Amino acid sequence: MKVIEIKEVNKIYNSSEVKVHAVNNVTLDFEEGEFVAIVGPSGSGKTTLLNMLGGLDLPSSGKIIIDGVDLSTLKSSALIDFRMRNIGFVFQSYNLIPVLTAKENVEFIMSLQKWTRQDREGRSFELLKAVGLEDRINSRPAKLSGGQQQRVAVARALASKPKFVLADEPTANLDSKAATTLLEIMETLNHGEKITFIFSTHDPRVVKMAHRVITLEDGRVVSDDKRE
């Protein structure tokens, strides 16, 4: 079943009298529960495409339809609500709130969604245990390694039970062991909770584990390799 449709999407930036075609007439579909890597050289449009999928940026033309909803039709407040309820984000820079503990970071979006305290605490512990951090729930980001911070970020992305997780270079700042651990955790969650994962990445470890690899060059899709 198609859960994401990208239809003839373009993103053009105007910079010092030069038009930059960051994404060029891209059409793609994604099925529920896919584990996808979007690859390509720097400047190929990976992050731009991911940001449009997450509603963080809008196409210059074309449509992005997620779970039957055309993102371009949503007003700002409705788009924020849609993102919060349907999409989890994992960033290269972790983006944890430094004054909050691991547990509080994971619970943050659930607080915005008005979950009860009991449900928040149960869900946050369940996720931190799933990423191997049940003994660090009260640690703030400064007391955690890069790999541990990124695992908290993954737990936070999954907190509200999103249908999709978008991960922009999630292993870029991690050593080999931490990256492998993180990818194995995400693959397990992908299988267990049927969450669709879409990565923007240069990392061959991510590419190796992906079930589908989409290659961009100059904003265009040049290959789409689906693996068994």
Can you tell me the mean pLDDT for 29-46? 94
For the cut 80, the answer to whether the pLDDT of residue 128 exceeds it is yes
User: Model's pTM, two decimal places?
Assistant: 0.89
Q: Read out DSSP for 74-125?
A: S-HHHHHHHHHHHEEEE-TT----TTS-HHHHHHHHHHHTT--HHHHHHHHH
Residue 30 tokens read as 């994604």
Domains by residue range for the chain, with CATH? 2-226 (3.40.50.300)
For the cut 80, the answer to whether the pLDDT of residue 228 exceeds it is no
Residue 136 tokens read as 């660090």
Work out the percent of the chain whose per-residue pLDDT is above 90: 68
